[in-house]
């Protein structure tokens, strides 16, 4: 599958499941919709990535048969929509922060809990990427998309992360309808994606993002008043801004927008900009537009 999905029946695969985006929530059988009640020109990333064949696809356009840009109306739902999951798979994840720490206790508890497959690694919570956790989540999504119920089982919630990292992961699992189970600790027990734990973690994630954003903006403003330069060498350009504006119009999150953009110059060439960089670029653009409009 190429970066841009062009298979004629891709939209049917995507529409087999409802859109997990709260701003869309299109039911199975219908195309995605914008906040203005129009048929979106492309399916939301969180929705088409529930389909294993499209997991690595960057864009799934809405086909002409769905009349993108027209007023959104709900279409007939698939007959098997809402059917009970076929089977239940339990995947485990274990992590230690340093090479000297043992995973034996976690592995033993996961085995006793009847976990089918265990992903384990020794890596710090501060690491931006945890390969084995990424593999566990990817497999959970693939299995859930096939129709089986999936639960990610962990010895304790701290093994997944703390604060915004844990909350962000919970949001990703909720979007894929994957459950969580902690064998010990404050959050011990099984948690359904529609349950209170996921809701609380999502709320905490939003609160912490707002807190970080406000503190960051305050710091930037303080630095500007002192004549200090913020950040290192610029990684944005006009083409990146244009694409970011287009994706924002599709109501994508900063994280999803950042994943679609590629730095073309400098030492970070070929990498994706951070969500913070995207936020700053869009904010500066909005400020310039506002300034011009007020003149």
How far, in Å, CA of 153 to CA of 114, rounded?
Answer: 10
133 contact partners, CB below 8 Å, separation of at least 6: 93, 95, 119, 121, 160, 169
Q: Which residue among the candidates 2, 70, 97, 205 is catalytic per the annotation?
A: 97
How far, in Å, CA of 138 to CA of 141, rounded?
Answer: 5
Map tokens 């890596």 to a residue: 123
Asked about 70 being catalytic, the answer comes back as no
Report the run of H or E that residue 191 belongs to, with start and end.
strand 189-191
How far, in Å, CA of 195 to CA of 166, rounded?
Answer: 16
Cβ contact 74:30 at 8 Å: yes
The strand order across the sheet containing 189-191 reads 117-122, 88-96, 149-154, 179-182, 189-191
| Residues with a known catalytic role | 97
């Amino acid at each position: 599958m190429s970066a841009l999905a062009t298979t004629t029946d891709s939209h049917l695969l995507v529409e087999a499941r409802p859109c997990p985006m709260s701003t869309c929530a299109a039911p199975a059988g219908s195309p995605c919709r914008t906040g203005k009640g129009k048929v979106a020109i492309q399916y939301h990333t969180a929705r088409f990535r529930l389909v294993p064949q499209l997991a690595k696809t960057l864009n799934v356009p809405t086909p002409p048969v769905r009349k993108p840009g027209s007023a959104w109306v709900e279409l007939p739902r698939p007959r098997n929509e809402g059917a009970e999951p076929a089977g239940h798979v339990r995947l485990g994840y274990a992590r230690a922060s340093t090479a000297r720490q043992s995973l034996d206790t976690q592995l033993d508890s996961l085995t006793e809990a009847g976990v089918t497959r265990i992903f384990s690694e020794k890596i710090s919570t501060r690491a931006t990427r945890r390969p084995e956790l990424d593999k566990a989540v990817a497999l959970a999504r693939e299995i859930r998309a096939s129709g089986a119920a999936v639960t990610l089982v962990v010895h304790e919630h701290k093994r997944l992360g703390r604060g915004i990292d844990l909350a962000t992961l919970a949001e990703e699992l909720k979007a894929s309808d994957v459950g969580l189970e902690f064998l010990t600790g404050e959050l011990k027990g099984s948690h359904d994606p529609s349950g209170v734990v996921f809701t609380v973690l999502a709320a905490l994630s939003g609160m912490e993002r707002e807190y970080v954003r406000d503190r960051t903006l305050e710091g930037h403003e303080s630095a500007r008043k002192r004549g200090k330069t913020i950040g290192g060498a610029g990684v944005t350009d006009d083409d990146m801004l244009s694409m970011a504006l287009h994706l924002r119009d599709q109501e994508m999150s900063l994280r999803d927008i950042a994943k679609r953009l590629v730095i073309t110059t400098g030492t970070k060439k070929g990498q994706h900009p951070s969500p913070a960089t995207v936020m700053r670029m869009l904010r500066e653009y909005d400020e310039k537009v506002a300034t011009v409009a007020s003149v």
